[in-house]
Amino acid sequence: MATNNRKRSRGATREANGGIPAWVIFCAGALCGGFLTFLVFLGSVGTGDSKPEVASKTTPQPAKPAKQTTETQFDFFTLLPEREVIVPEEQHPQEQSAASQEQYQFILQAGSFKTNADADRRRAELLLLGLEAKIEAVEANGDTWHRVYVGPFTSRSKLSKARTTLISEGIETLLLKRKVAG
């Protein structure tokens, strides 16, 4: 049987002396940076040939202190009584009667569909969830849309509970506020 006497090549190998150590390069860079910083500092100091201007020979006299009084006077004791403001008693607004207050009901729109079949399918889903749902046909931009409404709700707590149920089922809602007819 024939054998191959050819030497097999090995992968690339590094030489034992890998060049300049990293700490030497770091120290050289730090020295160069320090030297450049020193040169910039010397350039900003200037030559120092120009003499600073000498101030005039006259020196200003210190200001004479005002007469100090040994007795401190407070005048807010007399000013405050003069500025006294009398506040009238709080008047409670008259409560409006229930008839004059506008009452609102809240409705959730659970979808708007082009076909009545799609709207009826959504209404059936809502009925299975235990929610009161109805469909209204609306004309918009020459098209008929079938909107599915949930409600009406007279309290915020019932509205919040229904909205949470719809969101948990992945149904996006739109909150509508309408005046109660009456």
3-class SS at 98?
coil
The answer as to whether 58 is a domain residue is no
Owner of token pair 């059936």: 124
93 beta partners: none
Give the pLDDT band (50/70/90) at residue 32: very high
Look up the pTM and report it: 0.43
> Residue 30: its pLDDT value, please?
96
Sign of CA dihedral 43, 45, 48, 52: positive
The whole-number average pLDDT for the span 3-15 is 69
Share of the chain above pLDDT 90, in %: 12
User: Which residues have C-beta within 8 Å of that of residue 134, sequence separation ≥ 6?
Assistant: 123, 148, 149
Tell me how many domains the chain contains. 1
Of 52 and 154, the structure prediction assigns the larger pLDDT to: 154
pLDDT at residue 74 tops 80: no
> Residue 48: its pLDDT value, please?
58
The answer as to whether 6 is a domain residue is no
The answer as to whether 152 is a domain residue is yes
Give residue 140's domain range. Answer: 104-177
| CATH code of the domain in which 129 resides | 3.30.70.1070
The answer as to whether 98 is a domain residue is no
The answer as to whether 151 is a domain residue is yes
- How far apart CA 98 and CA 121 sit, in angstroms, is 39
Task: Extract the tokens encoding 118.
Answer: 């799609």
Q: CA dist 164 to 108, 110, 144, 169, 179, Å?
A: 11, 12, 29, 9, 24
